[in-house]
Structure 1
Amino acid sequence: MATIEEHREEWFQILDEYPDDEKPDPENRLAVETSCSGFLGNMWTRATMPEVQGVSLPELEMVFIHYYLQKGDAFSAAMLAAMTELADAPGGRRAAAKGVERLAETGVPVPSWYGEEVTLGECWKAGDHYGDQLTYFCSFRAPSGDHALSFTVDYSEYHFDMVVDCDSTDDIERLLELHRDRNAKFADRLFVPVQADPAELNPGTKRSFEDWDIFCVEGDASRLAPRFLMLRELWKARMRLLPQIEPDEIRMPTDDELSLFASGFVNHILGKIALRAEHFEAIQELCWFHGVNGPRVSPIRAYVFLERYMPAKYEPGDPVVAAVGELYVPFLRWAASATELRPEAWPYFKYKTEKLLEAYPNWSAKDPDCARIPRPRSL
């Protein structure tokens, strides 16, 4: 098992390799915080429970603090000042503050923005009509200069909430304009930014952190959007300024809800397909999965159902698998109407689902662990 001393040596070498000509101006708060957040994001990919891998993120945060304490220059003071906000653990934030004080006592210049109050500005959101994806935008005000962050999450109640993009800027209008222009071109499935209640942001993004924490620590960092690693800790730090509301619990359909959902589709499909036992079992699966957190259909749900849920429960040659393939598009068309999906959003949804069905079933044997594998970010 690796020891903290081995990790200290490794990270001191990594931090030593940071080129001087790429280090941001210590007075540029957003640039320094982004740099600090990037190192913490990469530390996070190499940290986990100490009893499993031997090192935790709070321990690596202390390595970071010790490194910049010993360097003792203006950039080091700026990085420690950033750590007073960005460290995941409260103890790390306190240790960084003491580090800034120690450097100041030795005459090292502390950035002028250190200790200033950051306040929340406006919040916005944009996304799709299916409820699969939302991008949140937040502006923040500070005496040294305003800045803004965005955070994009793909939602899947049964699977992983995935962070698919992040951004930072000193001008929130730049971020909003990009989404206004793009989303307006695809009004059948996307909506342009609208103002959001700040109370939405923590519950809207928290599960994505928890899901990635479970899967990706000491995992395959190539599965992560690169800018997520750069801005993960900066977003988490700014979210501490917002209402600390927990996301709702994932709610499974009750027997009564499942029965009502299934009977509605059976009545719809009767006479159109000769229903056998495997069709009724397939309908139960379709209605249960698409009834999690209330009846809803979407491209992401279709992907997770066909590529993660079914392979986790069935051998590819099972009659239920074939029955699902036969029923799926008719089921989605009926459910889209029953759940009042916008009519203009159906053609794209149908196209994405039919593409998935072209390769279905695409597994060679039942794999219960398949549901634990994140889907591609490109979906």
Structure 2
Amino acid sequence: MSPVSRARKIAAQPTAPSLNGVFKDVLRDFSALGADPGAFDVELLASEVLGQWWDLPLEEDQEPLGFELIAFAQRKITPGAAALLAALRGVAETPEERDAAAEALAVVLGRGIPEPEWAAAVGEVKVGECWRTGDVYGDEASLLCVFSRGELEHGLLALLDFADGGRVRDLVVIDEPREVLAEMREQATTEPELVLLSQVEPAEAHRLLADGLAATDVLEEPDVSEDYARFHAIALTWCRSLPDPAPAPETPEWAEETREAVVEEFVAQSGIEDTGAARALARLLVDHGCAAEPSAPLRVGPEKLARFLELVLDGEFELDPDHQDALAPVLLAWTTWAAARAGLGEQAVVTLVDAVTEYLDEYATDDSALDAYLDGSEELEDPAELAEALDRRMFAVPSLSTVIGDEEVDLEPTDPEQRRLLVIGEHPEYHESLASDTFDGAPRVRLELKTALVDQLWENEPPEAWAAASRLRENGLEREEILDQLVDVLAGQLQETGPDRLDYDVDGYRKALDQVN
């Protein structure tokens, strides 16, 4: 979405080191508004000013910059200060800032500066029609709200991402909302099986906007367009003219038995082979739907399913080889089953399946963790041997990234030195000592032995190490417990073979591993 407005953008200003310089520039901008600007131009300028530090992190107990700007303007006896404070009285984002601006404006006016003629019109708009257009799946929608002053209309257009909790990803203020509405109608007419258009009650539009903005504003890295910050304050201002938000629909949490019942229904109706992997993946899809979209856990769309695959690629879900093999057929079966369950049309289903197939192709060819774990295993042609190699290496090195110091790094486990860093990364309590070369004694020996054990498991040499680890895992021990026990076995075979040099009896070590249960 590209904004269309009559007011110019303000170049981004630094918030440091000179706030006074920034605030002086703001006053100059308001002084340059002219004798009779439109209320919209004033609102947009104020919104652009506030947007410059919309996502600026504040130190503990630091006052928001809006209050500092208000206090700065209150100390000035100029028409620009009165114009700024009159604008912030209507457009500032919080009630506290609007009250502070009103009080500061009264101080400035008390010094003989006249109140701007447009001041009473700021923030006062009449609500018109609200429309929503989006994909038939429900992944995202554009919400258009029309506002007017006299004969002049403006529109607020918000992009809602329902695959990410309904949050707002983009905001645009437009000059010709009727032209945009005509485009929305044309798109829905041209692609009726893929695009839906409906009129929305203003109270419901208020709920969608308020909830979407709130969901975005709490994110540390919100991933929004530049226009989002620019129009954020004006969006909140106009929203206050809408009726109170409609109540959100109830979204009761799905109980365990409900989730399992859906899995049963899927296996029975989809035609997928009833295997443990199929059921486990179906349950992951149910749980993902409940977490990502509690109001519609079984809704399917290209974005929602793409994000599920992203979580798989990012290691959010730990999949063994059986699950990896079953992922594509299960996801495609889930797609068609859930689409039919939702009553999607034929074209919509075909388009969705094509999109998911493309995602799966990308997933299969992605330079992912599987490539790293199976590197050097090309000579293994037996699927069972490949599966065993993958299981063993993923046990030895469960993650391909780690935090060293304050930095997160991605590493290559086939490189012994980088594999060692992955082991060190599991022990942040030693990082400071390692960095200062003060790490010595029993803890250092223990860490070196764990690194050696991980190398053995990775290379499967000696094979008795993995055999022992497998037995312990079958007995219910966790990974760290298993590694600790095997490190004890390795430590028991250590021998001094020279000054500051330790080695171990390989034959004795193998025999000791055989005794591990």
Provide TM-score, normalisation by structure 2.
Answer: 0.60
Which residue number in structure 2 is paired with residue 377 of structure 1? none
Which residue number in structure 1 is paired with residue 57 of structure 2? 47
Structure 2: distance between partners of 1:160 and 1:238: 23
Identity of aligned residues (%): 21
**Please, which of 145, 163, 166 is the counterpart of residue 171 of structure 2?**
166
1:263-282 pair list within 5 angstroms: 263-270=264-271, 273=273, 275-282=274-281
Question: 1:57-86 CA distances to partner (integer Å, 9 max, x unpaired)?
Answer: xx2111221343445544443332221122
Q: Secondary structure at the match of 2:90?
A: helix
Structure 2: distance between partners of 1:173 and 1:354: 38
Deviation at 1:153, TM superposition (A): 0.8
Structure 2: distance between partners of 1:167 and 1:17: 25
Query: Number of residue pairs matched?
Result: 350
Which residue number in structure 1 is paired with residue 201 of structure 2? 197
Which residue number in structure 1 is paired with residue 256 of structure 2? 255
Structure 2: distance between partners of 1:317 and 1:332: 22
Deviation at 1:93, TM superposition (A): 0.3
Structure 1: distance between partners of 2:207 and 2:400: 31
1:284-363 pair list within 5 angstroms: 284-290=283-289, 292-294=294-296, 295-308=298-311, 311=314, 313-315=316-318, 318-360=321-363, 362=366, 363=368
Deviation at 1:360, TM superposition (A): 1.8
Question: 1:192-231 CA distances to partner (integer Å, 9 max, x unpaired)?
Answer: 4x32111212321233223322223xx4x7x211111111
Deviation at 1:35, TM superposition (A): 2.0
Question: 1:224-269 CA distances to partner (integer Å, 9 max, x unpaired)?
Answer: 1111111112112222222134534654323343233222221234
Which residue number in structure 2 is paired with residue 232 of structure 1? 232
Structure 2: distance between partners of 1:169 and 1:146: 9
Deviation at 1:55, TM superposition (A): 3.1
**Please, which of 5, 12, 20 is the counterpart of residue 12 of structure 1?**
20
Contact 1:325/1:360, CA 8 A, preserved across alignment: no
AA of the residue aligned to 1:119: K
Which residue number in structure 2 is paired with residue 373 of structure 1? none
**Please, which of 212, 215, 224 is the counterpart of residue 211 of structure 1?**
215
Structure 1: distance between partners of 2:401 and 2:339: 29
Q: Secondary structure at the match of 1:297?
A: coil
Structure 2: distance between partners of 1:261 and 1:277: 15
Contact 2:204/2:245, CA 8 A, preserved across alignment: no
Q: 1:27 and 2:37 equivalent?
A: yes
Structure 2: distance between partners of 1:23 and 1:331: 60
Q: 1:135 and 2:139 equivalent?
A: no
Structure 2: distance between partners of 1:183 and 1:63: 47
Structure 1: distance between partners of 2:168 and 2:51: 13
C-alpha spacing 1:21/1:105, structure 2 compared with 1 (3 Å): closer
Which residue number in structure 2 is paired with residue 97 of structure 1? 102
Q: Which structure's CA Rg is the greater one? A: 2
Structure 2: distance between partners of 1:112 and 1:144: 19
Q: Which has the higher contact order (CA 8 A, sep 6+)?
A: 1
Provide TM-score, normalisation by structure 1.
Answer: 0.79
Question: 1:83-122 CA distances to partner (integer Å, 9 max, x unpaired)?
Answer: 1122222121011112333333344443323223433222
Q: Secondary structure at the match of 1:93?
A: helix
Deviation at 1:45, TM superposition (A): 1.0
**Please, which of 51, 65, 68 is the counterpart of residue 63 of structure 1?**
68
C-alpha spacing 1:70/1:184, structure 2 compared with 1 (3 Å): farther
Tell me, which stretches of 5 or more residues in structure 2 are unaligned?
1-13, 370-397, 403-517
AA of the residue aligned to 2:277: E
What's the RMSD between the two structures over aligned residues?
3.3
Structure 1: distance between partners of 2:154 and 2:170: 17
C-alpha spacing 1:282/1:224, structure 2 compared with 1 (3 Å): same
Question: 1:274-303 CA distances to partner (integer Å, 9 max, x unpaired)?
Answer: x43222211221233345424211122112
Deviation at 1:154, TM superposition (A): 0.8
AA of the residue aligned to 1:127: G
AA of the residue aligned to 1:63: E
Larger mean CA deviation between 170-179 and 82-91 belongs to 170-179
Contact 1:123/1:136, CA 8 A, preserved across alignment: yes
Which residue number in structure 1 is paired with residue 429 of structure 2? none
**Please, which of 115, 126, 139 is the counterpart of residue 133 of structure 2?**
126
Structure 2: distance between partners of 1:23 and 1:256: 65
Structure 1: distance between partners of 2:32 and 2:350: 48
Structure 2: distance between partners of 1:55 and 1:187: 51
Contact 2:30/2:83, CA 8 A, preserved across alignment: no
Which residue number in structure 2 is paired with residue 179 of structure 1? 184
Deviation at 1:312, TM superposition (A): 5.0
AA of the residue aligned to 2:261: L
Structure 2: distance between partners of 1:162 and 1:215: 10
AA of the residue aligned to 2:336: R
Contact 2:15/2:53, CA 8 A, preserved across alignment: no
Q: Secondary structure at the match of 1:313?
A: coil
Q: Secondary structure at the match of 2:52?
A: helix
Which residue number in structure 1 is paired with residue 160 of structure 2? 153
Question: 1:163-212 CA distances to partner (integer Å, 9 max, x unpaired)?
Answer: 232221343213313323444443331124x3211121232123322332
C-alpha spacing 1:23/1:305, structure 2 compared with 1 (3 Å): farther
Tell me, which stretches of 5 or more residues in structure 1 are unaligned?
1-5, 370-379
C-alpha spacing 1:7/1:17, structure 2 compared with 1 (3 Å): closer
